[in-house]
C-alpha cells in the first residue's frame, strides 16, 4: 500500500534509530493507517534532493551529521532554527520546505526537570548541531557556558579538573560512545565531578553510555538523552499533524 502521508528520518548509518518505532507505535495508537515512517540513510547530504521529490512526503526528522547541512535545501527556517543554525525537523507543505529545531524544546524540558539553583554555569561538550540547540537553551535561561570541542581553546586534551569543578552542569553533545561504538568515551577529568554536578548526555543508545557510567561512579547526578528524544519527537509530531488538515 502506498501510504498517503510519508514521514521519515535522514542521517548517516542510522539503523539504530529510535524514531521509526516511536512514530509507528503512535500511528497504531491513533489508528492512522495512512501514515508511514521510513529510515532514509544518506551517504551524502545531496541525496536529500531525490528524497524531496517523493510524492506525499509530509516531512522528516534530521539527525547526525546533517542537522546543519540540510539547511541549504530548505526554503524557510523557524525562528529558533534560524538562531540555532541547525534543523532536526522538516515540514513540507505545498512544496515549501520549512526547517524547525525541536531538539531545543526537548533539551529545555530535560534541563528544567533536573536543574538546581547551584547549576549556575555549564560546560558544553561538542559543537555540532545538537550542541547548538543546547547553547540556545542555556542562553535563554541565562546560564553562562564554555564550549569544549576538539578545536576550541579549551579542548578535550587540556580540559582540567579546576574548570570541571567550577561548572556544575555538564552537557555531553558529541556522538562518542553511541551504538555500536559503546566502549568509546571522551577524554574527561571525571575525578573532578561531585554530587552537585548534573551530567546530561544526549546519547540514548546505549541507555548508559561510558561517559554516563564514569560520571555516575564519580558521584554526579546523570541523565541520558531519552526524555529529550521523546520530547523532541512529540514536538515534531505537533508540527506535522497540526499542519495536516
Domains and CATH numbers, the chain: 5-101 (3.40.50.10860), 104-227 (3.40.50.720)
pTM score, whole prediction: 0.92
Measured torsion, CA atoms of residues 123, 128, 132, 138, in degrees rounded to the nearest 10 = -10
pLDDT recorded at residue 2: 59
Q: Are 175 and 183 in contact (CB under 8 A)?
A: no
Rounded mean pLDDT, 182-197: 97
Return the H-helix or E-strand segment holding 62: strand 59-62
The label of the residue with cell 522528516 reads: 60
Return the H-helix or E-strand segment holding 236: helix 226-243
Confidence of residue 209 (pLDDT cuts 50, 70, 90): very high
Could you tell me which residues come within 8 angstroms of residue 7 by beta carbon, excluding any fewer than 6 positions away?
A: 23, 35, 36, 37, 38, 57, 58, 59, 60, 61, 240
Distance from CA of residue 128 to its chain's centroid? Answer: 10
Distance CA 175, CA 64 (A): 8
The grid cell for 181 is 561504538
Residue 244: is its pLDDT beyond 70?
no
Confidence of residue 243 (pLDDT cuts 50, 70, 90): low
Confidence of residue 1 (pLDDT cuts 50, 70, 90): very low
Catalytic residue among 67, 109, 168, 221: 67
Rounded mean pLDDT, 41-65: 95
Angle formed at CA 201 by CA 187 and CA 163, multiple of 5 degrees:
50
Q: Is residue 245 among the annotated active site residues? A: no
Distance CA 46, CA 42 (A): 8
Rounded mean pLDDT, 47-58: 94
Confidence of residue 51 (pLDDT cuts 50, 70, 90): very high
Residue 105: is its pLDDT beyond 70?
yes
Average model confidence (pLDDT) across the chain: 94
Distance from CA of residue 21 to its chain's centroid? Answer: 17
Residue 145: is its pLDDT beyond 90?
yes
Measured over all CA atoms, what is the biggest interatomic distance in the chain, rounded to whole angstroms? Answer: 60
For residue 54, count other CB atoms closer than 10 A to its CB.
13
Residue percentage of the chain with pLDDT more than 70:
97
Residue 117 φ then ψ, to 5°: -55, -30
Amino acid at each position: 500500500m502506498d501510504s498517503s502521508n510519508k514521514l521519515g528520518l535522514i542521517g548517516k548509518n542510522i539503523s539504530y534509530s529510535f524514531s521509526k518505532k516511536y512514530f509507528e507505535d503512535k500511528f497504531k495508537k491513533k489508528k492512522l493507517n495512512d501514515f508511514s515512517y521510513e529510515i532514509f540513510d544518506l551517504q551524502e547530504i545531496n541525496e536529500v534532493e531525490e528524497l524531496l521529490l517523493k510524492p506525499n512526503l509530509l516531512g522528516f526528522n534530521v539527525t547526525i551529521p546533517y542537522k546543519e547541512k540540510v539547511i541549504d535545501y530548505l526554503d524557510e527556517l523557524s525562528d529558533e532554527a534560524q538562531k540555532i543554525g541547525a534543523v532536526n525537523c522538516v515540514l513540507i507543505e505545498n512544496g515549501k520546505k520549512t526547517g524547525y529545531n525541536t531538539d531545543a524544546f526537548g533539551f529545555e524540558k530535560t534541563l528544567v526537570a533536573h536543574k538546581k539553583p547551584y547549576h549556575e554555569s555549564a560546560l558544553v561538550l561538542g559543537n555540532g548541531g545538537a550542541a547548538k540547540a543546547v547553547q540556545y537553551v542555556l542562553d535563554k535561561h541565562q546560564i553562562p557556558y564554555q564550549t569544549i570541542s576538539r578545536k576550541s581553546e579549551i579542548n578535550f586534551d587540556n580540559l582540567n579538573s579546576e574548570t570541571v569543578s567550577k561548572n556544575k552542569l555538564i552537557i555531553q553533545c558529541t556522538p562518542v560512545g553511541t551504538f555500536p561504538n559503546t566502549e568509546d568515551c571522551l577524554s574527561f577529568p571525571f575525578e573532578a565531578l561531585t554530587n552537585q554536578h548534573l551530567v546530561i548526555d544526549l546519547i540514548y543508545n546505549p541507555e548508559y553510555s561510558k561517559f554516563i557510567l564514569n560520571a555516575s561512579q564519580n558521584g554526579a547526578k546523570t541523565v541520558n538523552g531519552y526524555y529529550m528524544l521523546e520530547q523532541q519527537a512529540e514536538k515534531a509530531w505537533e508540527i506535522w499533524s497540526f499542519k495536516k488538515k
